[in-house]
Structure 1
Amino acid sequence: MTRFSLLDLVPVRGGDSVASALANAADLAAHAERLGYHRYWVAEHHGMAGIASAATAVVLAHIGHATASIRIGAGGIMLPNHAPLLIAEQFGTLAALFPGRIDLGLGRAPGSDQRVAQAIRRNLSGGSDQFPRDIMELAAYFAGDERLNIQATPGAGEDVPLWILGSSLYGAQLAAMLGLPYAFASHFAPAALDEAIEIYRRDFRPSAQLKYPYVMAGYNVFAADDAQEARLLASSMQQSFVRLRTGTPGKLQPPVPGYYESLPPQAQAMLADVLSVSSIGTQADVERDLSAFLRRTQVDEVILTGQIFDLEARKRSFAIAMAAAQAITAPVAAL
């Protein structure tokens, strides 16, 4: 049976504060738990006024205390920014605080531009070649490997599943080689989705963590009881993408009626591309779109996201999405 989870970028709204964004994240995570979502992930981004999840492990501790059973984790930690020992200690601490609930997704992008990456003061000279070695070192800290001559405390002996994140074929190849679950960022970079899944499943090698390939894919949802309202809600995220692509990122803005229709053709084409793995509409629309996506990809898990300005509207959107997910997977569950 397909699992459904949530990805939250912890958006900071225009006219609002980071404190409010973090309070909203805790509220949304508790809501997701009540709805039956499997996991709740936040992602590392830096130097962005509209995203409050830069200190990812700290945010997860906040989310953990607001919930009781849902899995929580990073989707992901940008490992080139960090020494593996520090991540082992941070997520080992989280695993001690919230046993059996912590996931650690790993990406190789800086989660920022090069100016911010340099300010982080992590040595980036190794590039992508360093990423696999860092993953293996991190895994060794969790395993308590004595060959390191250093013990991660907290961290050693903690059960923290590692995931590989990606939006290209590189992540699929690496996840397959290491025998780790793979999460593809199709919610904003869908172009290589089908090929990446094919490569990952074809080349997967079983590991101590995972016997069979396991694929998660990102999916945007903007759902409401009325299709026109859903289109209006989606305009906040559409504005964010347009501003990001034009070099003027900022806080999440209120929805604007007719925003998409007001854009020039090239901007509409850009949004149609980056947000092609999305559903905008009523529960019936989400059922139709999600069903088609599952038939196309056969993924094991879908991680839903969708930046909506109003918190209650966002909670309603994810409630509708879960009702749609349950409707389309009910026949499978009954077998």
Structure 2
Amino acid sequence: MEQGKQLAGRVALVAGATRGAGRGMAVELGAAGATVYVTGRTTRTSVSEVGRSTETVEETAELVTAAGGEGIAVPTDHLERDQVRALVERIDRERGRLDVLVNDIWGGDHLWWPAGARMWEFDLDRGLRMLRLGVETHIVTSHYALPLLTRRPGGLLVEITDGTAESNASYRDHFFFDLAKYAPIRMALGLAEELKKEGCTAVALTPGFLRSETMLDTHFKVTEETWREGIAKDPVFAISESPAFIGRAVAALAADPEVARWNGQSLNSGDLAKEYGFTDTDGSRPDAWGYIRDVVLGDGTAPADDYR
């Protein structure tokens, strides 16, 4: 096997891979040699309700291939059961296996404003749409994809969320967002019990402070190359990480023959970097959740560089 191609011959589905963490995970799985089916609603001819035409599912697939894997774009709305069923049937027909399922579907950031509104003051349709995008999509995808994943022992399900089990134990100050981001942790916990009977593993995984495309160009008005300029606006941005970091976390989990030791757990990219020895693109290992715990929410005064 070519060095660095630990996932050669493996097949992955990254559901919700148009941009951000999803794109980062798809590309890093490809860099490790996997065939990666990537899905999303924004294509070169159609833009989802998120409203960003600058990132497409086709571009993600091309980046996967350029990284050394094989990227296959399948435009999919994961709320449409027929589309998800057809997606899984295509993977089965073309590859006959599924080794890694990453549930990263979200697309609800535009719905949660005003952030300070109490549940009964918040628009109910917007709130329920958030839950459909962040919870129902994961359930629909797992329902159709897990029969293929469990065909062989060793399959891995990764539920992507925002926050660890520890951080999500406290209320997130937004009723619908709180539910949407805690649900994947419970999904991983429950499905871990069901999947272990098939010799497969389920985990929940969160990035730290993610430098997604939206975070860079909309919130901080910077690029990946100039991201440190954003620290002046928010000092916590100093502990941020690129999408490649969580991508490398997923690739490391997928390549670990003892991945079952994590079954049912809530994991984060910073802790996995320490465990598996990978780094971010700048060679650092940002521990965002440690920094938030000790400095932002604690009484520490250590600089962010101490957590990189």
Q: Pick the TM interval, shorter chain.
A: 0.3 to 0.5
Larger RCO: Structure 1 or Structure 2 (Cα < 8 Å, ≥ 6 residues apart)?
Answer: 1
Q: TM-score, normalised by structure 1?
A: 0.39
Bigger Cα Rg: 1
TM-score, normalised to structure 2, is: 0.41
